[in-house]
Amino acid sequence: MAKVLKGIKGERFPKIGEKVMYSISLVDGVKPESISDTEIKWQLYQANEYSEYEIVNFSGQKIGKEVPYTFLTPLLNRHMKLIVSYKEDSTEMLVIPTQGEAKIVDVFFLDNTGKQLKKIPSYGESIILRVYTVKLNDKKLNFTIYDIVEGKEVEVGKNLKPLKVIQSNGVVKSDLITLNIGMPIRAKQDMSAEVHKYKVKVTCEDPALSYEEELKVKNEQVNVSIIPPDVQTPTTVGTAPKKEEEKKEENKKCFCNRDLTVEEVKSFYNSKMLFSAKNCPLPENKKTYEEFVKALNIAMKEYNINTCLRKAHFLAQIEVESDRLNTTLEYAEGWDYDHTTHQGNYDKYKLYLSDKDKYRQYNDTKIKRGYNRYKNSFQQTISQPFVAPVIRLPLGLFMFTLFISTPEPIVFFPFFFRIRTYFCLFVKNIIVKPIF
């Protein structure tokens, strides 16, 4: 299909906690009304430790020509990618959330196990509040659950002790909150309704900072039974105890002081194909798990990698160093090996182009690499002098070093020099010719 999406309009450095709108731009000639909103899909990704992009939890997929995003504190300074697609066409934008003003950003409701709620809770069940904040470290938060009755706020629940923001990511969780059956009575809710709605207000020491989120509760009561202490450990008969022992033994599996098996290594790497990169020099008969495990066991014996901890470290290290077991040879070598060509660093470099002051460190690194390269070449050339062939220097201002092993003079037209080492600043094209 023809190209439709031209790019994404929106803030590349959004502030944490602020609502930002992103919209699509279309290729010239494509009319917006010719595209249905339901066919425009958005997804947010973040870079992991391997510079690979993974879907951001809680972000969800958004639909439409223009969509809102609010970036939370855990995403501060993270390298992210916003991708929008239309059928088989797609385009993307690199995004890095920056620090915003102090505020309470969002509130999520979790179940009693700490997982995000997937259904509306009922009376008798317990929930947990997870609050996201920006620049409120060491501040204390309070929350109340209320409803409006005859124009007034009627409180039906609140925290017993303040929630202190301790974590650097600005996230704080409440204790378990039981949704008791007395809530709808105090709030004079309609007892014939299927769902009751309340407001959860989170406040800070600064009264100007507050956040409200709607809480829905299903109008039914769930009996949460409490097992008496004397029957909390039921007795079992038959073969049940044997299964329990087998499960415990499986959890205690140890890899110390023994060889790894092929099946174990396959399970570590999800049976992925080994050494599939084009530059990998291994013959095909060596790219099998059998040969790989044999080599692993030999290496671990030789270097005393004989405990679970050492083996785990070693296996994780070789996976990273071999491009996830794709090759046994560097993709580049010598001065051609440049870490800035990695995808993750290229993404950073593109951001550097738009904000050079903020990403000046990358330019500094580039200068240092240039100097080290010159220094390395200089030392190698002193130890291995060469006879200069015909050299044409480019137009510009450059420093060039010649190391001559022959006693014959060299002609720099129109001047003659008898030298072994010569440093010169050139401002014009000059042809260097050795005389034999």
**What's the whole-number mean pLDDT along residues 122-138?**
91
Q: With residue 90 as reference, give the H or E element that holds it.
A: strand 89-95
Q: Please check whether residue 310 is in contact with residue 318, taking contact to mean a CB–CB distance below 8 angstroms.
A: no
Same fold, 5-95 and 104-221: yes
Q: CB 117: neighbour CB atoms within 10 A?
A: 15
Share of the chain above pLDDT 90, in %: 31
Q: What pLDDT does residue 318 have?
A: 85
Rg of the chain in Å (alpha carbons): 33
For 118, phi then psi, to 5°, come to -110, -5
Give the per-residue pLDDT at 52.
80
- Model confidence band, residue 328 (pLDDT cutoffs 50, 70, 90): confident
- The proportion of the chain whose per-residue pLDDT surpasses 70, expressed as a percent, equals 68
Q: Which pLDDT belongs to residue 231?
A: 36
Model-level pTM?
0.41
Instruction: Note the pLDDT tens digit of each residue in 193-236.
Output: 999 999 999 999 887 889 999 999 999 988 654 434 443 334 33
Closest by CA position to 122, among listed 183, 50, 165, 74: 183
Q: Lowest-pLDDT range, 22-26, 255-259, 399-403?
A: 399-403
Q: Return the closest-CA partner of residue 57 out of 48, 49, 66.
A: 48
pLDDT in tens, 70-110: 988 888 888 899 999 998 899 999 999 988 888 898 899 99
> Six-digit token pair at 191?
């007892």
| pLDDT band with cut points at 50, 70 and 90 for residue 322 | confident
pLDDT at 195: 95
Q: How far is CA 135 from the centre of its chain?
A: 22
Domain residue extents for the chain: 5-95, 104-221, 251-321, 343-380, 385-434
Enumerate the H helices of 122-278 as residue ranges.
Answer: 183-186, 240-251, 262-268
Question: Per-residue pLDDT tens for 147-179?
Answer: 999 889 999 999 989 999 988 778 899 999 999
Measured distance CA(147)–CA(295) in Å, rounded: 67
What are the pLDDT digits (tens) for 383-397? 544 444 444 444 333
In angstroms, the CA 314 to CA 114 distance is 33
Question: With contact defined as beta carbons under 8 Å apart, do 58 and 107 qualify?
Answer: no
* 104-221: CATH number: 2.60.40.1930
Say if residues 191 and 219 touch (Cβ distance below 8 Å): yes
pLDDT the model gives residue 386: 42
Pick the CATH number of 5-95 from 3.40.50.10140, 2.60.40.2700, 3.40.50.2000, 2.60.120.10: 2.60.40.2700
